Amino acid sequence: MTLSAENLDPLMIAEDWRSNGRDVAIATVIETWGSAPRPVGSHLVIDGDGNFHGSVSGGCVEGAVITEALDVLASGEPKIIEFGVADETAWRVGLSCGGRIRVYVERLG
């Protein structure tokens, strides 16, 4: 069965994709500080073709997380990535309003 509804939980989508033979990574917000568009526990799931569902932040942060997730799928090694105001990356990915997020990215299965 393939799930396609827009409002489905990203973890349900991940389970569906995995059961259909796709390689899947899950990105989870594990810490926020200041202005952050998504709360701790938010998920973004990514498959090996770069398809994704859910959200960990918005804008360019998600593009950077997807890129990192593809690396995690290739290596099998989980990683923690951080975006924040003290980091030059913050401006590049749209966190110029004073926030920081940490995202844990792992391969499913």
> How many Å from the N-terminal Cα to the C-terminal Cα in the chain?
19
- Show Cβ contacts of residue 54 under 8 Å, excluding neighbours closer than 6 positions: 10, 13, 42, 43, 44, 45
- How distant is the alpha carbon of residue 16 from its chain centre? 17
Instruction: Specify the pLDDT at position 59.
Output: 72
Model confidence over 47-103: pLDDT tens digits? 999 999 999 987 778 999 999 999 999 999 999 999 875 555 555 555 555 678 999
In order, the DSSP letters of 72-83 are HHHH---EEEEE
Whether 104 has a pLDDT exceeding 90, the answer reads: yes
- Show Cβ contacts of residue 9 under 8 Å, excluding neighbours closer than 6 positions: 43
Whether 8 has a pLDDT exceeding 90, the answer reads: no
Q: What is the pTM of this model?
A: 0.83
The residue ranges of every structural domain in the chain are: 10-108
- Comparing 104 with 1, the larger pLDDT belongs to 104
Cβ–Cβ under 8 Å, residues 92 and 63: no
Region for residue 44 given its phi and psi (left: phi exceeds 0; alpha: psi -120 to 50; beta: otherwise): beta
